[in-house]
Amino acid sequence: MDWLSGLYLWLKALHIISVVAWMAGLLYLPRLFVYHAGAAVGSQQSETFKIMERRLLRGIMNPAMIATYTFGILLVLTPEMAGEWRSRWFQAKITLVVVLTIYHHALARWRKVFAADGNKRPAKFYRLMNEVPTLILIGIVILVVVKPF
Ligand code: HEM
């Protein structure tokens, strides 16, 4: 789409800003779960975590994910990216983005479980899960910057 041509760099800047906001939430929410898993049900601490988790997911993570997708898709439609979606680095990146999106939805489900005081998983589980977005982020950045294949 030619009218997007002059916007390529602006779209890329907005895409990266959205990615940073989304990643901040994807890294922080499981950290909150680690502490929440150790807080007694019904305690003041547990109730505070519920509010923090809801606000983080609804106020930052959901809008940032939508913005990442919106600007990413607009970037694909720019003349600068014509045909690039066929390259293997891009298809590998999209595969990792799908995994990241599934992870986002898993976090949203676990948040609901915490909100209903139903968590049975140990803090260790969330600490382990906390590593997932870091690994995916490293993979995506290498793919989009180095474009190794
Ligand atoms: C539907 C989801 C996404 C789409 C369609 C998409 C698409 C794109 C496109 C077309 C570019 C321009 C590439 C270039 O100029 O060579 C780009 C750049 C970039 N994307 Fe995404 N992206 C998506 C999600 C993500 C996610 C989840 C991350 C990180 C976690 C990410 C990180 C980046 C970065 C860091 C750049 C800048 C690369 C550069 O310096 O050229 N993107 N994206």
For the full predicted model, state whether its pTM sits above 0.85. Answer: yes
Q: What is the pLDDT of residues 22-35, one digit of tens each?
A: 999 999 999 999 99
Distance (Å, rounded) from C-alpha 60 to C-alpha 93?
23
Rg (CA), the chain: 18
Closest atom, ligand 1, to C-alpha of 23: 30
**Ligand 1 mean position, distance from CA 15 (Å):** 7
Residues 115-127: tens digit of each pLDDT: 999 999 999 999 9
- Does residue 15 have its Cβ closer than 6 Å to ligand 1? yes
Provide DSSP, 116-129: TT---S-HHHHHHH
Helices and strands per DSSP (H, E), number in the chain: 6, 0
User: What pLDDT does 79 receive?
Assistant: 94
Q: How far is the CA of 144 from the centre of ligand 1 (A)?
A: 6
Residue minimizing CA distance to atom 40 of ligand 1: 145
- Check residue 77 and report its DSSP letter: T
Report pLDDT digits (tens) over 11-23.
999 999 999 999 9
- Mean pLDDT throughout 40-44? 97
Q: Is 16 in the pocket of ligand 1 (CB under 6 A)?
A: yes
